[in-house]
Structure 1
Amino acid sequence: MSVSDFPSQSADPAFIHEISQLIVTSLGLDVEADRIDPDAPIYGEGLGLDSIDILEIALVISKRFGVQLRADDADNQRIFSSLRHLADHIAAMRGA
């Protein structure tokens, strides 16, 4: 299933911050969670995460929220394009 299979659901600012904090903590980033721009890229430029970081985030999200982020999902480029897109996807999947 992809997020397009569910009604549009946007994550609220508190949930976006929770995801941001989860990323910072799980990856041991040297940045404060509230300093991450929700609309900036998280992969490559922007936050500067690489594919290994993305895999770690997917694992942590799966454990914390029960949401499976699959490597073969055609929507991954969009899902991981920004913190906001990631949080929106998780919120939509949790609401299913």
Structure 2
Amino acid sequence: MNAVIDTASLEQDIAGLIIDTLNLEDLQPGDIPPDQPLFRDGLGLDSVDALELALALQKRYGIRVESDAKNAREHFATVANLAAYVASQQAPCAD
């Protein structure tokens, strides 16, 4: 069932997870474009938000979020980046 991951659905699900996890009650998943920055000029998330979101992603998708600052910053840059990361962590190994 998870063999083919629908990117648009995953992005919407992650946007919803962000809203629910961070109590952004005035937003809907469609209000967060996949390529909108999540930090600074975008949603304005901070490092505490990133930690909460990482825990929520681990719980929801059963993945392990890297703690390497450079990689984490890249993965958490946008919803699209998060969706790509989650998909890559869930994809079965081809080997």
Give the alignment's TM-score, normalised by structure 2: 0.83
**Structure 2 residue runs without a partner (length 5+):** none
Matched AA of 1:70: E
Shift of 1:73: 5.1
After superposition, residues 1-96 of structure 1 pair within 5 angstroms as: 12-29=7-24, 30-72=26-68, 74-96=70-92
* Runs of 5+ unmatched residues, structure 1: 1-9
Q: TM-score, normalised by structure 1?
A: 0.82
What secondary structure sits across from 2:64 in the alignment?
coil
Go from structure 1 to structure 2 and tell me whether the alpha carbon gap of 1:11 and 1:58 turns closer, same or farther (over 3 Å shift). Answer: farther
Runs of 4+ in 1 over 3 A off after TM superposition: none
Partner SS, residue 46 of structure 1: coil
Equivalent position amino acid for 1:28 in 2: N
| Structure of higher RCO (CA pairs closer than 8 Å, 6+ residues apart) | 1
Larger radius of gyration: 2
Deviation at 1:11? Answer: 5.5
Residue-pair matches, total: 87
Structure 1 distance, partners of 2:73, 2:14, is 18
Q: Distance in 1 between matches of 2:8 and 2:66?
A: 25
Q: CA RMSD in A?
A: 1.6
Identity %: 33
